[in-house]
Amino acid sequence: GVTINGSPLTLAQYKEGTLTKTGTNTWVFVATTGLPSSATATVATSQTTTSTSFTDLATAGPAVTLTTGTKALVLCYCEQSNSSTAINVSSFAVSGATTIAASDTFGLQINQSVAGYVYSASIGKIVTGLTAGSNTFTAKYRVSGATGTFLNRVISVIDLGS
């Protein structure tokens, strides 16, 4: 029999999909029928950072691992504040089959106009150019100055196939 993604493959199991070679004798099958696969994770804990580079908070993430094709929709939500009038940024990094560093380009940026005020916001980003396979999406955080507080952090990822 044929084994793909660690599971036996049967014709009754998948009628449509994409088989992608990821290495010597290594293949990933992404089904294209039915509902897209998705995952969501939440960290409710309020935590802070003074880092001006993307970093993990004391409780890293949230993070989700999902078998994706070459495209995925990433949705991030966060409540955040800053002790000064600085900028807070929450973004995400991708690891596993694909490596993408967290970036301001697809981050959720809050320009704190009133020190200490808590802002709630979300952002969605279609990520293309993924390597099909098991990808981990992890939220990361930074500030432009002072102390940023982040809470009720959520990341959701929906596989969009290839």
- Per-residue pLDDT of 84-99, as tens digits, reads 999 999 999 999 999 9
The tens digit of pLDDT for each residue in 57-85 reads 999 999 999 999 999 999 999 999 999 99
Mean of the per-residue pLDDT values of the chain: 87
Question: CA torsion angle for 58, 45, 106, 112 (degrees, to 10)?
Answer: -100
Peptide bond into 62 cis (omega under 30): yes
What is the percentage of the chain residues whose pLDDT exceeds 90?
70
Residue 8 — pLDDT band, cuts 50, 70, 90? low
